[in-house]
Amino acid sequence: MKVFKFGGASVKDANAVKNVAAILNRFPKENILVVVSAMGKITNALERLTDAVFYPAKNKKEDAAAILAEIKKYHFDIIAELFPSKEHPIYNEISNTFVELDWAVEDTPTENYNYEYDKIVSMGEIIATKIVNAYLLEAGIKSKWSDVRDYIQTDNTYREGKVDWDLTQELVNTQLLPEIKDGKVIVTQGFIGGTSENFTTTLGREGSDYTAAILAYACNAESVTIWKDVPGVLNADPKWFDETKKLEQISYQDAIELAYYGATVIHPKTIKPLQNKKIPLLVKSFLNPEDKGTIINEIQSPLPIPCFIFKVNQVLISISPKDFSFIAEENFSDIFNLFSEKQVKVNVMQNSAISFSISVDADERKLPDLIKTLQKKYRVLYNDNLELITIRYYDQATIDRVTIDKKVLLEVKSRYTVQLVVKDANR
């Protein structure tokens, strides 16, 4: 059995949904578990909706109603193109599904932002899978919709649900595996999970790849394919580089490193479950499905060319004790605990005798609070609007190439990877 993951771009409009059916038709008689994300940029719209609902003083109720109307229109436009007959049951089904969002806009939210977020934002995947499944049936594919919350079980860390692997495995065995047979296609949601009290959680932004990996692990799938709008994993993001090369094959080790440093093609949590069961991960183009794409599997050879990862909007925080004493072990654990408590991810760090520098993503919601707390005990300086450049399999020439017109504020080198925090030289 194979797992296919279709992300937002691959279901962003009616033609894209038709293309999903065309791809599945290339694999007749195979048992395929299809994991689908919210359509296009709907998750961002649902995040805006959550904010409008939760912070009505700032955004007002009308804003929420307007955003919801926009989300409904987007989906119903796609449905109208896919299902010309207005009698088709999908019209009713999606209207009924939207009732949950109507309620979310009308009711007073609880105090728990993250809980409300998951309740609202998860609807993107529920709606997308219902539309895709209905279309696949229409196209003659033996497809069945399935609610992933019935088997991916998490704790109640809303927005960052931690998977209960044992329970998930048990539920996959009893609820999901018996369905996967006779050349059937099962359509289910990426990104979301359920708790023991039947609440909905999400697994973190861009988490649908992770869902595909969890299910592949629990089903002992033969492979996972992520269908993307790029030909495979490239050695740099075409957004920043004119010339990029596709990588034919990547080891799990390199893949996890690249994803960890911020290569956005694969969600960092995706690799571990696959590596643990040696399940190959294919990254392929949904526009050219016959092309080979990239395969990530158990190989020993390093990448043949350097890989570049750019992260913009970095803030470099420098922390030093107020009295010129050393940065010692107790400070480290104190500082790390704070970062973890405030859910701020460390992208790169470096220490000297009396200071400790950490680069993090700029995040208005989290950083001011973290910095204020740090300032109670330490002297804290920070520099924003920086870029973090990571090069895997670097040499001096590649470093020189990316630092033209840049001032390097921090450089951390290990054997295979260099990380540079830079700013424009003329700023």
Question: Which positions touch ligand ASP (CB under 6 A)?
Answer: 7-8, 37-38, 43, 124, 190-191, 205-208
Contact 202, 117 (CB under 8 A): yes
Q: What is the layout of strands, in order, in the sheet containing 356-361? A: 348-351, 356-361, 307-321, 378-392, 417-424, 406-413
Shortest Å, Cβ 144 to ligand ASP:
21
Per rule CB under 5 A, is residue 37 in the interface with Mg ion? yes
Q: Rank residues 39 and 141 by Cβ distance to Mg ion and give the closer one.
A: 39
- Among the listed residues 1, 3, 4, 8, the single contact to Mg ion using CB under 5 A: 8
Contact 239, 177 (CB under 8 A): no
Q: Rank residues 46 and 53 by Cβ distance to ligand ASP and give the closer one.
A: 46
Which of ligand ASP, Mg ion, none sits in contact with 205, Cβ below 5 to 8 A by type?
ligand ASP
Shortest Å, Cβ 160 to ligand ASP:
12
CA 308 to chain centre: 19
Per rule CB under 5 A, is residue 124 in the interface with Mg ion? no
Cα gap 42→101, rounded to integer Å: 13
Shortest Å, Cβ 5 to Mg ion:
11
Q: Which stretch binds Mg ion (CB under 5 A): 1-9, 148-156, 266-274, 290-298?
A: 1-9
Q: Which stretch binds Mg ion (CB under 5 A): 6-14, 82-90, 134-142, 340-348?
A: 6-14
- Identify which of 152, 161, 151, 146 has the alpha carbon closest to the alpha carbon of residue 201: 161
Q: Identify the residue whose tokens are 């997308």.
A: 128
Q: Identify the residue whose tokens are 């707390």.
A: 373
Q: Which residue is nearest to Mg ion (CB)?
A: 8
Contact 268, 259 (CB under 8 A): yes
Shortest Å, Cβ 211 to ligand ASP:
8
Which of Mg ion, ligand ASP, none sits in contact with 356, Cβ below 5 to 8 A by type?
none
Cα gap 262→347, rounded to integer Å: 9
Angle at 379 between CA 377 and CA 385, to 5 degrees: 125
Q: Which residue is nearest to ligand ASP (CB)?
A: 208
Give the count of residues interacting with Mg ion (CB under 5 A): 2
Q: Rank residues 56 and 204 by Cβ distance to ligand ASP and give the closer one.
A: 204
